[in-house]
Structure 1
Amino acid sequence: MVHKIQPVSFITISSDMEGQRVDNFLFTQLKVMPKSMIYRILRKGLVRVNKKRIRPKYKLINGDTIRVPRVWSKEVGKGVSSTKVGSAQTFLVENSIIYEDEYIVILNKPAGIAVHGGSGLRFGVIEVLRASRPDEYFLELVHRLDRYTSGLLLVAKKRSSLRDLHEQLREKRVKKYYLALVQGQWPIDITAVSAPLSKHSGKGYQKEVRVCEEGKSSQTLFQVKEYYSKQATLIQARPLTGRMHQIRVHALHAGHPIALDNLYGNSFFNEYVSMLGLKRLFLHASSLCFTHPNTRKIMCIKAPIDQKLENVLITLRMNI
């Protein structure tokens, strides 16, 4: 366990940072500090805004000056601050960026790397970005991808961008499209799956999602892209809601699990596609359409599947 001192600091709130609660603001600024300690220094009045004591729910205003006291934190192996991000991880994440400006970053995330740390993982994409860009005061995920799903991931570089993009997500104005290889011939008439989903505890850190009447309303649109005899189908999926493992569970619910899905897949189909050279879940976030938070222009970004996935499709076409 390493003890680290957090020196006294003064932070002036800009227009892009205003509107958030002071406790939430401190969570993002003091990443190595436990939340319990942050609430403790707030209760004791050690955090001052404009030289006055404030409550955790105080909402920051443009021009506010926050005094953060000299406090100690304990690094116990959580997050990037207590583990050194290797150059390989940094190169992998930075090299996956396909678009960036002063408001957003868009990555074509490789399969196998999580979007954030936690559940036994010390770091993910967002922690690597923060570690490699210490001068960036704000970097936050706009949405998430499963660890073994590849494809387009959107990161906000300003709080105003995050608010705007989250509003677009709530209003279903962000369109996300995925490509997936599924077992069997997907019926042409199944164009949507509406089935409520709920989380359940699995083995270790793993969470499972199941179709359940008491679950949250969930809907995914599907479109057939290509058939490969009776063995498999390439489909396009567009989730209208953003539930955990939604596409994977809805595909299973329709009777056509995704290739090499080790949680929801079919073992015989998984063995078949493994012999064709598939090494990971065949699910890829291929297209993302949204309104740019600053220019207000419609952006449609595409990321083709990688060559390894394309090789599996080529082999399937040869076997027709």
Structure 2
Amino acid sequence: MSGVRWVEVTEDEAGQRLDNFLLKHLRKVPKMLIYRIIRKGEVRVNKGRSQPNVRVQTGDVVRIPPVVTAEAGQTVKPPRTQQDKIAQHILYEDSDLIVVNKPSGIAVHGGSGVSWGLIELIRNLRPEARRIELVHRLDRDTSGAIILAKKTSILRDLHRQIREDQVEKYYLALVAGAWPKDKYKVDLPLLKNTLRSGERMVEVSPEGKPSVSFFKVLNQFSDAALVEVKLITGRTHQIRVHAQAVGCPIIGDDKYGSEVANASFKKLGMARLALHAQKLGFTHPATGEKLFIEAPLFVDFKNIIKTLEAR
């Protein structure tokens, strides 16, 4: 993994799109990762954020962040123990796709500062499937069901289903405080911003994209609530920001949550983001079968619910 580089655009390179400029300087990095580091604001042109299609000019200075690269002809090899661990969390698999119950703390793919993620684990577990790609994403700290396609045709069809709102997504979340009894639908537009540090933040804003979540209280405890969330749209950090906007941030959320609540629940054993992608419903692209897959809660999430029920 290389360190941060500041590269000045030469006369020969002037006029190139930013994504193509980066592909030249990061030859061993997957194109998907190139777009990700641009989107996250880790790439800067003259100290400012930019877009993949912006054309760089002579003398521009491009910040290229540290990224994990593989030597030519090699693939990233995650620890065997981690491969064995993730193999135990495969919920569904056939010749076309895989659904995995991703543990919290595992990124969906390697990137800036992360040598490997879920995609690298699965590719190493299934080397015979040469086209494995992520169909969608989960935040690193969010656990739960995630789909990976083994074929390009399967990936395309599942992306179409997502665009046409044909994929059902249900989450479980543990939120701080008492959820308002009359607040079932949260319809608040969300806008992505990036701080000077490069950290990506999302906020409710009339200038943002339409974002709709449905919250159903499953159990109201004295100082927290267990809620089921159905996503209608799939914006970045949508559930986390909608919960915060209602006044009940998700337990363990170090970006949008309550430090006091996080510290209190950490003592009870919930030391991570209490958000779990519990159910996925979609149509199998090859068979036409309607699949509805449920991802069991991990032990820490189960235990905190038991603790709260016993109070």
Q: Give the shorter-chain TM-score range.
A: 0.7 to 0.9
Correspondence for 1:69: none
Aligned 1:122-271 pairs, distance under 5 A: 122-202=115-195, 206-229=199-222, 231-271=223-263
5+ long unaligned stretches in structure 2: 3-22, 32-66
* Contact 2:29 2:69 (C-alpha < 8 Å) held by counterparts: no
Correspondence for 2:284: 292
Counterpart Cα distance in 2 of 1:214 and 1:318: 44
The alignment partner of 2:86 has SS state of: helix
* Contact 2:212 2:233 (C-alpha < 8 Å) held by counterparts: yes
CA deviations 1:94-153 (Å, max 9, x no partner) are 222111001110000010000112232122111222233332121111110010000000
TM-score normalised to structure 2 length: 0.76
Counterpart Cα distance in 1 of 2:150 and 2:68: 26
Q: CA deviation at 1:264?
A: 0.6
1:32 aligns with 2:24: no
Counterpart Cα distance in 2 of 1:181 and 1:114: 21
The alignment partner of 1:113 has SS state of: coil
Which amino acid letter does the alignment assign opposite residue 266 of structure 2? S
Q: CA deviation at 1:283?
A: 0.4
Counterpart Cα distance in 2 of 1:152 and 1:95: 13
Structure 1 vs Structure 2: percent identity of aligned residues?
46
Identify if the C-alpha distance between structure 1 residues 302 and 33 changes in structure 2 by more than 3 Å, giving closer, same or farther: closer
Counterpart Cα distance in 1 of 2:295 and 2:144: 7
* Contact 2:187 2:212 (C-alpha < 8 Å) held by counterparts: yes
- Structure whose CA Rg is larger: 1
RMSD (Å), alpha carbons: 2.6
* Contact 2:169 2:281 (C-alpha < 8 Å) held by counterparts: yes
Aligned with residue 78 of structure 1, among 36, 50, 69: 69
Correspondence for 1:14: none
* Contact 1:79 1:122 (C-alpha < 8 Å) held by counterparts: no
Which amino acid letter does the alignment assign opposite residue 128 of structure 1? L
Which amino acid letter does the alignment assign opposite residue 91 of structure 1? D
5+ long unaligned stretches in structure 1: 3-26, 36-75
Correspondence for 2:112: 119
Q: Aligned pairs, how many?
A: 255
Correspondence for 1:315: 307
The alignment partner of 1:91 has SS state of: helix
* Contact 2:185 2:213 (C-alpha < 8 Å) held by counterparts: yes
The alignment partner of 1:177 has SS state of: strand
